[in-house]
Amino acid sequence: MNVIVCMKQVPDTSEVRIDPETNTIVREGVPSIINPFDENAIEAAVQLVEEHGGKVTVITMGPPQAEQALREALAMGADEAILLSDRALAASDTLATSYVLSCAIRRIGDYDLILCGKQAFDGDTAQVPPGIAEQLGLPQITYVIGLEVVGDKVRARRLLEGRYEVVEARMPAVLTADKHMNEPRRPGLKSVLAAKKKEIPVWDAAGCDIQVSSCGLEGSPTRVIRTFAPSHEHEGEMIEGDPRDAACQLVEKLAAAKLV
Amino acid sequence: MAIYIEEEKCTGCGLCVASCPYGAIEIVESKARFTDDCTMCGACVSACPQGAIVLEMPRKGEVDTSQYRDLWVVAETTPEGDLAGVTIELLGEGRKLADELDAQVALVLMGDEVGELAEKAGGFGADTVYLVSHPSLKQYRTGPYADVLCGLINKHKPEIVLFGATSMGRDLAPRVAARIKAGLTADCTELSVDPETRLLHQTRPAFGGNIMATILCEYTRPQMATVRPRVMDRAQWQEGREADIVEVPVDIDERSVATKIVEVIADEGAGAVNLQDAEIIVSGGRGLGAPEHFALIQELADTLGATVGASRATVDAGWIPAYHQVGQTGKTVKPKLYIACGISGAVQHLAGMSSSDCIVAINKDPDAPIFKVAHYGIVGDLFEVVPELISAINERRGQ
Amino acid sequence: MDFAFTEDQELIFEAVRELCDEELKPKADEVDRAGEYPWDSVRQIAEMDLFGIPVPEEYGGLGMDVLTWAVVGELLSTGCTTTGAVYGAHMLAVYPILEFGTDEQKEKYLPPLATGEKIGAFGLTEPGAGSDAGAVSTRAELVGDHYVLNGTKIFISNGGDAETYVVIANLHPEKGTRGLCAFILEKGMEGFSFGKNEEKMAFHSLSNRELVFEDAQVPKENLLHREGRGFRVAMTTLALGRIGMAIGAVGLAQAAFDAAIEYSQVREQFGQKISEFEAIQFMLADMATEIEMARLMSYKAAWLKDQGGDFEKTAAMAKVYASEMCSRVTSKAVQIHGGYGYTTDYPVERYMREAKLFEIVEGTSEIQRLVIANRLLRENRLS
């Protein structure tokens, strides 16, 4: 049972600030973390391999410093890690990123399942995993909170709006992990120190047969033209009147803001 | 845009025939061949074990954008078999955008025996409904929905396609976008069009809501977006308005569908307290005076479909379990609406909720610090104000 | 002189910081209030291999030095003082076995202590033998192939919850301290039981129980070091324990400082943040300066120990300074919080109560001064 986990190093959004002058994200001093949903995917993959044997390969596309996130994944129990890093890949949008990752997954070759976090903490798009599944021609099961492998099939429990769905697909398949799937382990220091010593190969675009015209800026159909800080600061308003009156005024205001 | 079969690879196995929802492939002399019904949906590409079928989509810069017209909404239905709220919202928003572009609004409605909904869509402003009915489309599944939709898009070339940013829309849209090489923006909260360039300006939050980004797809078509539910206005119902219903015949072979839904279970455990994902939180503080008064907070929360939060003081006093606690040492939350009842607003509490989109404070003490962060404040006895609030909400709903 | 940590150390400290921020700190108040041994937190630090930091790799540990052990203790103490104290007390069983144990003893006892599968404790203090450690009255007698122990120890940290104990008893009371012996005891040994758990002004969830020996049967091979060397085992263990106490106090003071500097920038009075008042700024500056001083002294004591040097005096200096510093700093943290600081809504009142412990255990401030003075006079004797 070989499992590939696609992961991403993201800035810890709880510590992100906006530069009011430039309206851009201040990244300095913001710690980088493994995208939390990817930790669920790594945990699920490690558990699968603990149960069925095989190996877990984690892969990330990112700058050289993304190696740090891969080492954390190795400490959590992944067997191998690959860093996909090439200047040509910079500024790829979700379509281009899924193309690039699908090329790298083809190069890895031997796999039964591909696991991803359900979405990345920074972009929150959830678009890359279905993109990978499409480009590899594989079935996808998103929002997974539990899974079992039976023979050549994977059966997964999905968490949807107000209901669960149990879905079965033939393998290989692409699955995306929800945070309710499991509790990612906190690796012991022995594993952390061992992970530090592992070799992490760095792959470039050419090595994965990636068409440069399909990645980076050129391969990305979407373009961000403007960023700005959301304006939720406004002067507080005191609502006067007797309780009945005040309550009615409040409900009007909340309804106008589509909050009730 | 082109689809072709590399004949030397084709073994004539016929799997592509089974996979084609439009019945547009035949085997002639042991080789697969497309008929005129082919929509270039691409379903056969991944079905072919030999990799003999190639779908070529134009790359960025090669797309003749002028060929693309009209705005599409991809419909979603509720488990009860009605149009989902987000679909009606998208019809409302879509109408506004289409009018600016002097374009038509079409609804793509996939399901099983959903003809009634197609008629309803006209009343909500759709000009055309592409009605695709088949038993295999009864419940949403990525594969057949994506195949059918890609075929429709490649055939009719809409300029804009909108989906709800729901578990279905966020599963389907990226699959379709990846196949037809279109740009897609997730989870939009604001849409507008520029009638000159005909570009869709798609605005969405990123970085945990810390920043908003406006995104364009300049060189590819259609321009696709998923839109967050409960953000756009619902379309107004127009009695007697009818859409042109186009029935799209499809032929789906269940054996070629990669996923099977084994079971659907209603989520009984939704009562689990999930403050961080809650859109509305109603919190109680020391002003409640006694643990049993949390029932009032619960009642307001139930009225609003909200989750119950609590101040540290009430948790420490053992009035309510710790997983309800909001604040520095409890949960940090950012709901759309936070209603603080009888909470004075100790620094440690404010640290956990002050970035909520809208904060309402109800407190007896006009000098309570909670009023400094509140968008709306009511000075009064919560035991008088909260019951009035509940009945005012119910009355408004009843209208 | 090099103040930099190695890459491995940085990795370890970062992982521990994360554990503290995400797990230990958020529940520290709850842990203290529960009044029950913090098994959850203990399991968490065990799973992270923290109990094995100073244990050689051959015995299932990480084989890191005392400095690494100390810095981790400091970080834990900042996150959750109680958990930090468990970690510190555990070492008082690990360290004497490591230092004086036979190969057989190490092989048997260290691996489960390194993984945290078993918790350790050290039993020296008695009702009549506190600062006067030599006055131990627990008796040991050799009967056949067993030592038979009789007597009572009190205030033993981790007592009752630990599985492995290093206990000091006197085999030859007539020889005074030269009659003392150290033994390894296991929970469940015949005649070995536990008495009262102390109710304290703080550290409500840290067990400080009586160890009761009523004809306790200790196999002969559980003698640690040699007969009559128990005092040396005890003093060596206490010397290391002082580093642990010093660093625990530094960690706690840091937690108090963190709370104070944050609060000072949130709390407004007279229309401005109180951090804008010079009175508050001076307090913060003094707090940080004193913490840094205590930290450097503690690190130096640990470093000296790792160099194989004589660290006893430095450790005593670090302990007395750090513990008294901790009381000053936590008190200032309460002061900065004003009225709120005196309430249980904020952790600083707990910090202030906890700080007092460090001035008392593992040798009171007075004993530390005696140790220091003793050394100074010996080093500076006029011929």
Q: In this predicted structure, what is the pLDDT of residue A230?
A: 65
* B52 and B62 Cβ atoms separated by less than 8 Å: no
pLDDT value for B349:
83
pLDDT in tens, A62-120: 999 999 999 999 999 999 999 999 999 999 999 999 999 999 999 999 999 999 999 99
| Percent of the residues in chain B that have a pLDDT greater than 90, as a whole number | 75
pLDDT at B271 over 60: no
Angle at C66 between CA C184 and CA C375, to 5 degrees: 85
Domains of chain A: 2-214 (3.40.50.620)
CA-to-CA distance for B156 and B172, rounded, in angstroms? 19
Determine the pLDDT at residue B208.
Answer: 64
- What separation in angstroms does the CA of C22 have from each of A14, A186, C27, C70, C344? 13, 11, 9, 21, 22
Residue A232 confidence (pLDDT): 46
Give me the residues of C, 363-382, that contact B with CB < 8 A: none
A192 touching chain C per CB within 8 A? yes
Residues 45-84 of A with CB under 8 A from B: none
Question: 3-class SS at B107?
Answer: strand
Q: What whole-number distance in Å separates Cα of residue C353 and Cα of residue C77?
A: 14
Whether residues B211 and A259 touch (CB distance < 8 A) is answered with no
Q: Which chain B residues contact residue C40 at CB under 8 A? A: none
Return d(Cα C131, Cα C382) in angstroms, integer.
Answer: 29
B373 in contact with chain A, both atoms CB, cutoff 8 A: yes
Helix (H) or strand (E) segment spanning residue B242 = none
Q: List, as ranges, residues 47-76 from C with C-beta within 8 Å of A.
A: 47-50, 52-53, 62
* Mean pLDDT confidence for C292-302: 98
- 3-state class (DSSP) for residue B186: strand
Any idea what the Cα angle at residue C19 is, between residues B331 and C345, rounded to 5°?
45
Average of per-residue pLDDT values in chain C: 95
Q: CA of B380 to nearest chain C CA: how many angstroms apart? A: 25
**Secondary structure (H, E, C), A152-209:** CEEEEEEEECCEEEEEEEECCEEEEECHHHCCCCCCCHHHHHHHHCCCCCEECCHHHC
User: Of the candidates C39, B215, B151, C174, which has an alpha carbon nearest to the alpha carbon of residue A224?
Assistant: B215
CB B91 within 8 A of CB B214: no
Q: Which of B184, B268, B304, B338 to mutate to test the interface with A (most CBs of A within 10 A)?
A: B184
Asked whether residue C18 carries a pLDDT value surpassing 50, the answer given is yes
Please compute the mean of the pLDDT values over residues C205-209 and round it to a whole number.
Answer: 95
Residue C113, both tokens: 């202590």
The A residues from 107 to 136 touching B (CB cutoff 8 Å) are 121-131, 133-135
| Chains in contact with A via at least 3 Cβ–Cβ pairs below 8 Å | B, C
pLDDT confidence of residue B269: 46
Q: Give CA–CA dist C13/A144, Å, rounded.
A: 34
- Residues with Cβ within 8 Å of residue A42, at least 6 apart in sequence: A5, A7, A34, A56, A58, A73, A76, A77, A78, A115, A184
Token duo for residue B211 = 């920043």
Q: How close B343 gets to chain C, by Cα (Å)?
A: 14
Residue C171 has pLDDT above 70, yes or no: yes
> What are the chain A neighbours of C53 within 8 Å (beta carbons)?
189
What value does the mean pLDDT take over residues A126-140? 97
Q: Are C240 and C91 in contact (CB under 8 A)?
A: yes
Predicted confidence at residue A229, as pLDDT, reads: 74
Residues counted in chain B: 399
Chains contacting B (3+ CB pairs below 8 angstroms) = A, C
pLDDT in tens, B130-146: 999 999 999 999 999 99
When pLDDT is averaged across residues B39-68 and rounded to a whole number, the result is 92
- In whole angstroms, what is the distance from residue B368 CA to residue B285 CA? 12
Is the CB of C346 less than 8 angstroms away from the CB of B329? no
Q: How large is the C-alpha radius of gyration of chain C?
A: 21
A69 closest CA partner among A12, A138, A126 = A12
Q: In whole angstroms, how far apart are CA C356 and each of B55, B276, C363?
A: 75, 38, 13
Q: Compute the mean pLDDT over every residue in chain B, rounded to the nearest whole number.
A: 91
Higher pLDDT, B244 or A24: B244
Closest listed residue to residue C233, CA positions, set C277, C182, C158: C182
Note if C359 is an active site residue: no
Using a CB-CB distance cutoff of 8 angstroms, which residues of chain C are in contact with residue A188? Answer: 47-49
Kindly tell me if the per-residue pLDDT of A185 is higher than 80: yes
Q: Which two tokens stand for residue C238?
A: 């206490």
Fold topology of B269-396 = Rossmann fold (3.40.50)
Report the pLDDT value the prediction gives residue A219, as an integer from 0 to 100: 93
Please give the Cα distance from C316 to C371 (Å, whole number). 7
CA distances in angstroms from B223 to A238, B161, B174, B254, listed in the order given: 43, 6, 12, 31
Distance CA A17, CA A22 (A): 12
pLDDT > 70? residue A233: no
Give the integer Cα–Cα distance in Å for C280 and B138.
68
Q: Is B46 on the interface with C (CB under 8 A)?
A: no
Q: Looking at the partner chain, which of A186, A192, A196 has a beta carbon nearest the beta carbon of C47?
A: A186
Query: Which tokens sit at A135?
Result: 């480009």
Distance CA B13, CA B3 (A): 18
Say yes or no to pLDDT of A227 above 80.
yes
Portion of chain B with pLDDT greater than 70, in percent:
95
C267 at interface of B, judged by CB pairs closer than 8 A? yes
State which H helix or E strand residue C67 sits in: helix C66-79
| Residue burial C153-171, b: 16+ Cβ < 10 Å; e: rest | bbbbbbbbbbbbbbbbbbb
**What integer pLDDT is reported at residue B205 of this predicted model?**
80
What digits encode the pLDDT tens for the residues B133-191?
999 999 999 999 999 999 999 999 999 999 999 899 999 999 999 999 999 999 898 99
Which tops the pLDDT comparison, A122 or C225? Answer: C225
Looking at domain B65-256, its CATH superfamily turns out to be HUPs (3.40.50.620)
Q: Which of C309, C93, C110, C313 is closest to C182 using CA atoms?
A: C93
Q: Which pLDDT does position B278 carry in this prediction?
A: 84
Are the C-beta atoms of B373 and B366 separated by less than 8 Å?
no
pLDDT at C378 over 50: yes
End-to-end C-alpha distance for chain B, whole angstroms = 52
The residues pairing with A144 across neighbouring beta strands, listed in sequence order, are: A158, A177
How far does C26 lie from chain B, in Å, by closest CA? 6
Read off the tokens for B200: 């869709």
Query: Residue B232: which pLDDT band, with cuts at 50, 70 and 90?
Result: confident
**Do strands A173-177 and A140-150 pair parallel, antiparallel, or not at all (unpaired)?**
parallel
CB-based contact, C173 to chain B, within 8 Å = no
Per-residue pLDDT for B312 more than 90? no
Helix (H, G, I), strand (E, B) or coil at B376: strand
Q: Using an 8 Å Cβ cutoff, are A6 and A132 in contact?
A: yes
Could you report the per-residue pLDDT of B331-361, keeping only the tens digit for each? 767 789 999 999 998 876 876 788 788 999 9
Mean pLDDT of C210-223: 97
Going across the sheet that includes B184-188, the strands are B184-188, B223-227, B160-164, B71-74, B105-111, B128-133, B244-247
Contacts of A68 in chain C (CB under 8 A): none
- Position C134 pLDDT exceeds 90: no
Mutate to test the interface with A, among C19, C20, C49, C59 (most CBs of A within 10 A): C49
Closest to C347 measured CA to CA, from B372, B321, B327: B327
Q: How large a percentage of chain C has pLDDT more than 70?
A: 100
On chain A, the residues whose CB falls within 8 A of the CB of B210 are 13, 16-18, 25, 229-230
**Segments of chain B assigned to CATH 3.40.50.1220:** 269-396
Spatial neighbors of A133 by CB under 8 A, at least 6 apart, are: A114, A139, A140, A173, A174, B142, B175
CA dist C10 to A210, B77, C1, C243, Å?
37, 53, 18, 20
B92 contacts: CB under 8 Å, gap ≥ 6? B124, B125, B232, B233, B234, B235, B236
CA distance B75 to B209: 27
Is A240's pLDDT higher than 60? yes
Note whether A238 contacts B175, CB cutoff 8 Å: no
Nearest by CB: C263 against B312, B316, B347: B347
Residue B270: predicted pLDDT: 42
What element of type H or E holds B335? none
Interface test with C, best of B332, B348, B367, B373 (most C CBs within 10 A): B348
CB of B78 within 8 Å of any CB in chain A? no
Task: Pick one of 3.40.50.720, 3.30.70.20, 3.30.365.10, 3.40.50.10800 as the CATH number of B2-56.
Answer: 3.30.70.20
Residue-wise pLDDT tens digits, C226-236: 999 999 999 99
Structure-token match 């324990």, residue found: C241
Contact B150, B42 (CB under 8 A): yes
The token duo for C356 is: 């007092």
Q: How far is CA B203 from the centre of its chain?
A: 15
Instruction: Using a CB–CB cutoff of 8 Å, tell me whether C345 touches chain B.
Output: yes
Catalytic residue among C74, C312, C324, C362: C362
The C-alpha R_g of chain B, in whole angstroms, comes to: 26
| Strands B244-247 vs A163-170: parallel, antiparallel or unpaired | unpaired
Helix (H) or strand (E) holding C151: strand C146-157
Residue C266, chain B, CB below 8 Å: the answer is yes
Instruction: Compute the Cα dihedral for B277, B281, B285, B288 and give only its sign.
Output: negative
Which chain B residues are within 8 Å of A137, Cβ to Cβ? Answer: 45-46
Structure tokens given for B362: 């109800």
The answer to whether residues C67 and C302 touch, using CB atoms and an 8 Å cutoff, is yes
Question: B210 and A248 in contact by Cβ < 8 A?
Answer: no
Tokens of B48: 């072919």
Burial C238-256 (b: 16+ CB within 10 A, else e): bbbbbbbbbbbbbbbbbbb
pLDDT of C16: 96
Burial of C237 (0-12, 13-18, 19+ CB in 10 A): buried
Stated length of chain A: 260
B97 touches chain A (CB under 8 A): no
What residues of B are in contact with residue C30 (Cβ under 8 Å)? 322
- C-alpha distances (whole Å) from B259 to each of A151, B155, B262, B284, C353 are 15, 26, 9, 46, 61
How confident is the model over A112-134, as a mean pLDDT? 94
Q: Where in chain B is the domain with CATH 3.30.70.20?
A: 2-56
Out of C30, C344, C345, name the one closest to residue B348 (CB): C345
Q: At A157, list the tokens.
A: 């429990």
